[in-house]
Amino acid sequence: MSYSFLDKLLFRIFLGNNIFQEVLFDVDKLFFYKKRKKINSLIITGLPRSGTTILLNELYKTKKFSSLTFQDFPFILSPNIFNFLKKYLKIFLLINLWEKFIKKNKKRKYKRIHNDGIFVADEMPEAFDEVFWRVFQNRKYINKNNISMHSIDEYEMSEYQKYVNIITYRENKNLYITKNNNNILRLNSFKNLKHTFFIITFRDPFFQSYSLIKTHKILCKNQKKIPSF
């Protein structure tokens, strides 16, 4: 995806502040969290380059699932608020102006930087619920050189289920799907999630290792071309 300077500035302001994200989440719950019928969740996870993204995209194409998409940026924890603002307050917030003249992603598909034949677009899903765990875990599993396994307590698990509720509420669906490779770090805690099913992908170690090395080189090369923000 290609983002303008203003896009990046907006993302940094809204996504870089955990407290702000929590407040928006609380407001979204206040107005849009409803006790509904059973909501089933499908969590796709596995090691990177094991096929999780293409599986997510193919299942999402059935239009039976709710999920976070690129259109939810940067209000990842408050999807209903953002949807409301875009729908009813476009003129006041100059969202129309931003989308037409500033925002670069205009209903276009972009080839992933991984060079694996997969395309991304605004309406496609991605592993954005990781923002939820980053906020509620206060980044404690994110280390300088790696990310570590961690546990989810009862409060965090309860809040996550409410999060799934408000995401599915937006499209009035009872099926939620997410793909997040980092979820393998918290699988032991996820066993306590109700009405949740898991798909864990595996790939031949040789081809997966080759793909990881190839992607790593691509990302390193690309990072040198893009100045730090």
What tens-digit pLDDT sequence spans the chain (229 residues)?
566 666 677 777 777 778 888 999 999 999 988 877 789 999 999 999 999 999 999 999 999 999 999 888 888 999 998 888 777 665 555 555 555 555 554 556 777 777 777 777 778 888 889 999 999 998 899 998 889 999 999 999 999 999 999 999 988 899 999 999 999 999 989 887 888 999 999 999 999 999 999 998 988 888 777 665 5
Report pLDDT for 223.
Answer: 78
Residue 114: which of 228, 200, 217 has the closest Cα?
A: 217
95-102: list long-range contacts, CB under 8 Å, 24+ apart: 98/6, 102/4, 102/6, 102/7
For residues 41 and 33, give the distance between their C-alpha atoms in angstroms, rounded to a whole number: 17
**What is the total count of domains within the chain?**
1
pTM metric for this prediction: 0.84
Residue 174 near residue 38 (C-beta atoms within 8 A): yes
Domain that residue 62 falls in: 5-225
The CA distance from 193 to 3, in Å, is: 36
Cα torsion angle, 83, 88, 94, 99, sign: positive
Find the angle CA(40)-CA(43)-CA(46) to the nearest 5 degrees. 165
Instruction: List, as own/partner pairs, every contact residues 93-99 make where C-beta atoms lie below 8 angstroms and the sequence separation is at least 24, other chains included.
Output: 98/6
Q: Give the whole-angstrom CA distance, residue 128 versus residue 5.
A: 21
Measured CA distances, 169 to 59, 123, 194, 223 (Å): 19, 17, 18, 38
Among candidate residues 83, 59, 61, 77, the one with its CA nearest the CA of residue 165: 77
